[in-house]
Each structure stands twice: as C-alpha cells, then as structure tokens.
Chains A and B, each alone.
Chain A
Amino acid sequence: MAYSEKVIDHYNDPKNVGSLDKNDENTGTGLVGAPECGDVMKLQIQVNPDTNEIVDAKFKTFGCGSAIASSSLATEWVKGKSIDEAMSIKNTEIVEELSLPPVKIHCSVLAEDAIKAAISDYRKRSEG
C-alpha cells in the first residue's frame, strides 16, 4: 500500500515525540489502543490553567506509519488551541489532511480518541 506524501513526512520526521510529566497537574494523558491491529498510542497535553490553552503536546505511538502520522498531526493541531476547540477535532479532518485510505481510517479514529482521552484526563485531574 502506498502512503501519501504527508504520511511519509510525518513518519520520517514526527513532530512532538516524547512525553510530559504525567504527575504535573496541568497535564493530561490519553492512552488508547486499536485491538484490530494492536497499535498503542499515548498523547499528552500541557494546559495553561488560566487560559485553558494547550501550550504543549507530546505523543508516542507504537503502530503503523498512518498511526504515527495521525498522532503526530494531532499534537501539531492541538497546540495553541483551547481544550474546547481541541475537543472538536474530528478524525475525518485527519483523514483528509493525510489522505488516508479507507483501511487506515481507524488510525485517525485512534488519534481523535487519544486527544479526547488526554483532555478528559486533564479535566478530571484539574477538578479533582
């Protein structure tokens, strides 16, 4: 299967690989998986509690090129957004941006799930 140029770009030069301190109360961590293929994706956000803006994001994904590209793109997109804006990112936008073929759509779903999981983890921790 041929990957699109944008997928290859993200795969060769992934943005924001790494991790944030998950014990910091201003971070949120989302860990999601796709049993279909055994991919695991961790996406973390750092939030400015005064403005609710996502100031940093990191990811680490064990999976195919499309899963890596989807999560790399997701971290780029959430940075600078408010958590509400980030919450509304749809997997279809990722599919479009990366020209993912139908068999790889689940990778974009995983990235959307990871963003949502990270945000809900942040909310839970900042309220608690």
Chain B
Amino acid sequence: MASEHTSCQSCGDSLISPLFCFSCNSLQTVSDDIDHFKVMGLPHCFEIDSAELENLYQRLTLEMHPDFFVEAPEKQKHLSEKSSVMLNAAYSTLREPSSRAKYLLPLLDREKSLETDALPERFLQEMFTFQESLDEMLESGDQSALCKMNEDLQNRHTFIESNYADLFKKFETSPENHEILQQLQTQLNAERYLRRLLDRINSE
C-alpha cells in the first residue's frame, strides 16, 4: 500500500510521523518492522536536525503517552503503548551521533560485506596500554594524569564523531564505494573502546 505510513488512516491528511496524526489527533496502526528513521518521518540519512527531532519527540510523547489512554478502549490503549515504545527506541537511538551512525550503517550496507570487527592498526594494543595506565593512575590517585588522559581521549572521541557526517555524505555521492562504509564501521568500533575508557575514568 503506497500511502501506508505517509497519510492518516482516519482523515487522510499527510503524516509527519507514521505513529500519529496531528490533524485529527488519532493514533495510527503501524507495522512492527518500520525502522527508527521512518518512525521519526526521516529518510535514511545521517544528518538530522536535532532540535527538530527533539521537538517531534516531545510533541508525540504529549499526544501518545499511555497515561492519557488509561480510560480508552483496549485497542487504543494497546496502540499507545506500542507506539510509545517505538518512539522512545527511535529517539534514544537517533539523538546520539554514534548510536545513530551505528544504526544507519547496516541499513546502507546492502551487500552485507562489512567486516564488523575491524579496527585501526595497533589500536587494540593502544587501548590495552591505556587501560593499564588507567589502572596505575587510579591506584595512585594521580588526578592530574587522569585529567590529562580524560582530555586526550575526549579529543579523540570528538574527532571520530565529527567525521561521521562527512563520511556518510561521501557515501551518498558515491554509493558504489563500499570502502567508505567500512571506514565508518572501523571508526564506530574505535569509538566504542574510547567511550569505554572515558566511562571508566568518569565513573571513578
């Protein structure tokens, strides 16, 4: 059905999100398998307007939250619960650049050819060394060394995240070049290790 997810099942108006019609205030019946981008009415594109995303999330929450459907018929109640779960999952995945990139990557990887464990050369060794030095710093309580390491890692993390947009854009203009997706995968893997270290520093 061509109009599925794009026009309201009650009034026929066009929809911003397939979950809810703001024109006639009605919950929509949606299939379970629509992806997070579609839930927020977005194309499969890395760059999004964060303010717009948050705004839509809040508007939808205000309309669909299960608390407002306590007295409603069973079907409506169920729809509001299901849609709210989908909305929360979509929003929490898409708002952060790394989780958004990680989610988008397999959607674009049509050939399913990504080497998912790939890391930059010697990266693992470096991360291991960082973890060992962190052990020592935490044991000795060396605050200035901890601050320094935190700053270094933070810079590298920011640098990685700042590259996503360019790489995805590059892929959009040359979608036959799968090497770009692999680069993204490698960066995302590295991001995970860096964040793990940062979490460890900041939880102490």
Chain A positions near chain B (C-beta within 8 angstroms): 31-33, 35-40, 42, 60, 62
A33–B116 CA distance with the chains assembled, in angstroms: 12
User: Which of A32, A35, A42, A60 meets B193, CB within 8 Å?
Assistant: A35
| B168-194 vs A, Cβ < 8 Å mask (1 yes, 0 no) | 000000000000000000001100110
A10–B124 CA distance with the chains assembled, in angstroms: 24
A60–B125 CA distance with the chains assembled, in angstroms: 13
A31 — which chain B residues lie within 8 A by C-beta? 124-125, 128
* Chain B min CB distance to A58 (Å): 14
9 A-B pairs with least C-beta separation: A38-B196, A35-B189, A62-B131, A38-B192, A38-B193, A33-B124, A40-B128, A35-B192, A40-B127
Total residues of chain B contacting the partner, CB 8 A = 16
| B45-86 vs A, Cβ < 8 Å mask (1 yes, 0 no) | 000000000000000000000000000000000000000000
Of all chain A residues, which has the CB nearest B118?
A35
A and B contact pairs by CB, cutoff 8 A, 18 listed:
A31-B124, A32-B124, A33-B117, A33-B119, A33-B124, A33-B193, A35-B117, A35-B188, A36-B192, A37-B192, A38-B193, A38-B195, A38-B196, A38-B197, A40-B124, A40-B127, A40-B131, A40-B193
A62–B18 CA distance with the chains assembled, in angstroms: 43
Interface of B is mostly: helix
- Contact (A42, B128) CB under 8 Å given A35-B192, A37-B192: yes
- Residue contact B128 to A35, C-beta cutoff 8 Å: no
A8–B192 CA distance with the chains assembled, in angstroms: 26
A36–B189 CA distance with the chains assembled, in angstroms: 8
Contacts A31-B125, A38-B195, A62-B131 known; 19 new A-B pairs at CB < 8 A:
A32-B124, A33-B117, A33-B119, A33-B124, A35-B116, A35-B117, A35-B189, A36-B192, A38-B193, A38-B196, A38-B197, A39-B196, A40-B124, A40-B127, A40-B131, A40-B193, A60-B128, A60-B132, A62-B128
